[in-house]
Amino acid sequence: MKAVHTELHRSHDPQFFLVRGVVKRTTEQPERADRLLKGLKDGKHQLVEPTKFGQGPRARVHSPEYLSFLSEAWDAWTALGDSGPEMIGNVHPVRHAATYPTHIVGKLGWHTADTAAPIGPGTWAAACAATDVAATAAQMVMDGEDAVYALCRPPGHHAYRDMAGGFCFLNNSAIAAAHLRQKHERVVILDVDVHHGNGTQGIFYARPDVYTVSIHADPTDYYPYVWGYAHERGEGLGLGTNLNIPLAIGTGDDGYIQAMDVARKAIESFAPGALVIALGLDASEHDPLKGLAVTTPGFRRIGQAIAKMGLPTVFVQEGGYLSEILGANLTSVLAGFEEAR
């Protein structure tokens, strides 16, 4: 399996992470990509540079106001003259009968769901590069590759159409799915990150053409807390095209594979032409965010279960944070997929 990657991700190096009132160094660090690259090397995957698609793939998913905000945010922030080293909102309007702000501080709050997506001088460039990685992988699959892995950083599945959050700015998995829609009438996104893919769900919640499925730690006790429950099934024309499978904190390999079987049956009923895997590796028993307890052999089983769906597949990297086993888990899931194809 080929893998798409660019070193441009390094321009995004966030520092701020607020955890239960304590400021810590974020776990979404450039070193994540180094460990994932080691996993790709160990799996003997060929690296491919992304094509620069420009704004088109992003504009299929995100609003014009949001893209404009992200592209101009850092310059507007530094022009204030007394601003900090990262953009972190201190106003978060709930948007009920609200007016879209003109001041950068107001826009920052409007376009961020939480404080876990600090914007720095290189964030926009890195986020755009990640969307090129995702779109390139999708295009390669459209052009005939059976499966392609996209090493996207920063991740994307918490990003809504017009809102960043949870380390995410542009929704790479959604962009890959929208790109695939140019060829396929129906596409599925299966999110196997330990966190619910709330941004992805929000983007496609009223659409019948993209089925969003997420297996994740129960949001009763885990981020994002207010999305990701089993009763969330879509709305309007999209009613029935969203499936959430929350798992108890600490669920291990067997429980996860049972959830994969539920997801597979639902996906087969939808009869899609292509599949996007929002590949979080943070369900690992060794991940620092500790929600689920999947082992490295368990990730191989996940890869095998994905392969058995028999669909053209784009793997888009989401979460998976700094642990000694991160690269091995990536090697394992891709190897499981390849051996079961």
DSSP classification of residue 45: P
Which residues lie below 8 Å from residue 309, measured CB to CB, with a gap of 6+?
264, 267, 268, 275
Phi, psi of 74 (to 5 degrees): -65, -40
Active-site residue flag, 158: yes
Which residues lie below 8 Å from residue 21, measured CB to CB, with a gap of 6+?
none
**What is the distance between the alpha carbons of residues 17 and 39, in angstroms, rounded to a whole number?**
26
Q: Is 99 exposed, middle or buried (0-12, 13-18, 19+ CB in 10 A)?
A: exposed
**What is the distance between the alpha carbons of residues 177 and 315, in angstroms, rounded to a whole number?**
11
Residue with tokens 């986020």: 127
Catalytic residue among 158, 179, 195, 196: 158
Return the closest-CA partner of residue 216 out of 234, 231, 229.
Answer: 229
**What is the distance between the alpha carbons of residues 191 and 306, in angstroms, rounded to a whole number?**
11
**What is the distance between the alpha carbons of residues 129 and 149, in angstroms, rounded to a whole number?**
15
**What is the distance between the alpha carbons of residues 202 and 184, in angstroms, rounded to a whole number?**
21
Q: Which residues are catalytic?
A: 158
